[in-house]
Amino acid sequence: MNKRAKEIRKRIEKRKRQRSIQSTLSYQPLADLTDEERYGQPVITYDRYAADDKHPLFRKEVFLLKTLLSACLVLLSAVAFRNPSETLAPVRTFVKHTMEQEFQFAAVSKWYEKQFGEPLALFPEKKTETAKKNTKSYAVPASGKVLENFEKNGQGIMIETNGETPVEAMDEGIVIFAGTKEKLGKTVIIQHADGSESWYGNLGAITVKLYDFVEAGKEVGTTMKDANEAKGVFYFAIKQGDHFIDPIQVIPFE
C-alpha cells in the first residue's frame, strides 16, 4: 500500500514539474509579440509608400523635363534678342510684350474668393453678400475742380482741391506702383479686379506701399500744394487695357 502511494506522489510531482517548464517556455512579454501573435490573426497595414517608392507629388523625370524646357526657353529668348535677324522679330515682340504685361493680382484675388469662398491671407476679410451692390459705384478720389481735361493730354485730368487734401482710392485693388514717375512726380497706381488701373499722380506725399491691398475710399496720398500754397492739385487717370479713358465718364467731379 505504501509503495503504491509513493508511485502516485511521484507521478503528481513529475506532472507539476512538466507544467512549470511548459509555462516558463511559453511565456513571452506582450511587448515582444508581433501583431499577428498578439491578436491571433494577420494585421494589414496601409503604408502606401515603401522606403524605396517615390512620392507621387515629386517625379524626377517630370522635374528634369520642366527644368530642361525652362532652360531652352531662356536660351531661345537670349538668341532672339542677340540676333538682329528679322525672322526672329515675332519672338522678340512676344517676349517683350509678355515681360511688360502686369500680373493681374487683383483679378486672381477675386477669382480665388469666388472659387473657394475665402480671400487670400494677404487680403482683408470677405464682405457679406448683403453689403455688395448690384450697381458698381466708385469713390471720388478728392473733391475739386478740373483744371486740365482729358482731351488736353489724352491720358488723365488735373484736379484742384482746397489746400493739402487726402487723395483716396476710387475702388479696391492692389498697389502695383508707389514711387516717382517722369512728368507725374510722386505717383500711386492701383490695379483693380477687372484688370483696370487707377493712377494718382502729382502727389505731395504717398501713404501706401507697393503690393498693399486698399479698399475703396482708402487714402493713398495727399495733394501737392500749388505755388501760393492756397490750393492743392493732383493728377488722376484710369487705364483700361492699353488705353486710358476719360475719368469724367466714370466719376463725377465738381
Q: Tens of pLDDT along 196-243?
A: 999 999 999 999 999 999 999 999 999 988 766 678 999 999 999 889
Contact 224, 204 (CB under 8 A): yes
- Sequence letter at residue 20: S
* Structural domain includes residue 187: yes
Q: Are residues 129 and 233 in the same domain?
A: yes
Helical (H) or strand (E) element with 213: strand 213-214
Which of 171, 110, 106 shows the shortest CA–CA distance to 136?
171
Q: Tell me which residue range forms the domain holding 72.
A: 60-100
* Structural domain includes residue 27: yes
**pLDDT (0 to 100) of residue 130:** 42
Q: Are residues 64 and 92 in the same domain?
A: yes
Contact 161, 229 (CB under 8 A): no
Q: Are residues 118 and 142 in the same domain?
A: yes
Which of 135, 153, 143, 176 shows the shortest CA–CA distance to 237?
153
Q: Tens of pLDDT along 7-21?
A: 777 887 887 777 776
Q: What is the DSSP letter of 229?
A: S
